[in-house]
Structure 1
């Protein structure tokens, strides 16, 4: 099992903490870009043989049980050595969603060479696996337009932020330069105690 790599912040990301990494060099974000909404969920990886959180030894949390049931129905279609990564969305965290398309939203797929698929191939494979994806806010060749897309379509009280990535394939070595995030200030707005309760709030689905 492979741990999902750390996503670096854009230089002006207000939610970056002292422990986060910031990418000052944006020259790698040239060519076609895709901006997706950064969902307020839990990072999960589906493989053919297992499902795990970002920490591969974390086990299955109660709020990931619906996603695990989905994995059990989907895993046989995932190619050997591939990793389907997304957000576990059943539990409500800091953002209350009311019309989610599913309990697990795909944001990236890695192949057996440890390369993140290009966006078009990601969309194609998500369809083959019958898994919904995170919302796309922008696709085009302008970094300034890409950075402005979230503010034009979302607000900080209802969205955690955005992710901007190169539309093409991204080898693991280039991931820290070609996929970056912008996170709102004080993005964690829930008490940690919810993780120790059985009656945690859940999101609403379309």
Structure 2
């Protein structure tokens, strides 16, 4: 795997640790050992049931960087071809590829690629306001925002007030400010519903997989 800033570089999206009360965590997952990093202004976004995909100026790739491009990512790849020239060298725009239906059936998505992170050439996760600005510049929708504020207890309760485990996978909470990649494990965390994967793995080997619904 090639790493580092500059054209053509491939850098895998960091693993997001689970909150201590995340029912979807398994023995292979990493947990947040303390919540001291989740201070200041926080943003809670819905954890979408899609595929983690990265856009750079030169490449589009999944979190499993050697997995190649699959049929269910074709619409996202078409978007990447349209916006790639506007992404600065060494920057990464990360989001969920949402065309294929997995364990959650969505009916009114705003697009086939939903942005949740923007990294600059120093491997700094840009702040949420700048993430929103870049998404708007590229004409790409963001993942839904469920809460923004300074109270961690309210942030952690936002998903259950607005979503249901039958129709939503969970949430991600992060600090709203920029943060270096080394701090990602302390300042970004997720909560995932129990048994969040509810689709047989065989769908990945089919060409007639179900697709989500989108806003017209």
TM class by shorter-chain length?
over 0.9
Task: Provide the C-alpha distance between the structure 2 equivalents of 1:25 and 1:110, rounded to a whole number of angstroms.
Answer: 25
Alignment counterpart, residue 109 of structure 1, candidates 109, 114, 118: 118
Please give the residue correspondences for 1:1-206 in structure 2 after superposition, counting only pairs within 5 Å: 1-206=10-215
Determine helix, strand or coil for the equivalent of 1:203. Answer: coil
Task: Provide the C-alpha distance between the structure 2 equivalents of 1:63 and 1:93, rounded to a whole number of angstroms.
Answer: 11
Deviations 1:92-137 (A, max 9, x none): 0000000000000000000000000000000001100111000000
5+ residue gaps, structure 2:
1-9
Determine helix, strand or coil for the equivalent of 1:168. Answer: coil
Task: Provide the C-alpha distance between the structure 2 equivalents of 1:28 and 1:19, rounded to a whole number of angstroms.
Answer: 22
CA deviation after TM superposition for structure 1 residue 58, in Å: 1.2
CA deviation after TM superposition for structure 1 residue 66, in Å: 0.5
CA deviation after TM superposition for structure 1 residue 57, in Å: 1.6
Task: Provide the C-alpha distance between the structure 1 equivalents of 2:38 and 2:166, rounded to a whole number of angstroms.
Answer: 28
Task: Provide the C-alpha distance between the structure 2 equivalents of 1:77 and 1:171, rounded to a whole number of angstroms.
Answer: 23
Task: Provide the C-alpha distance between the structure 2 equivalents of 1:140 and 1:2, rounded to a whole number of angstroms.
Answer: 30
CA deviation after TM superposition for structure 1 residue 170, in Å: 1.2
54-63 vs 31-40, which moves further: 54-63
Determine helix, strand or coil for the equivalent of 1:148. Answer: helix
Q: TM-score, normalised by structure 1?
A: 0.99
Task: Provide the C-alpha distance between the structure 2 equivalents of 1:184 and 1:193, rounded to a whole number of angstroms.
Answer: 22
Count of paired positions: 206
Task: Provide the C-alpha distance between the structure 1 equivalents of 2:37 and 2:209, rounded to a whole number of angstroms.
Answer: 41
Runs of at least 4 residues of structure 1 off by over 2 A? none
5+ residue gaps, structure 1:
none
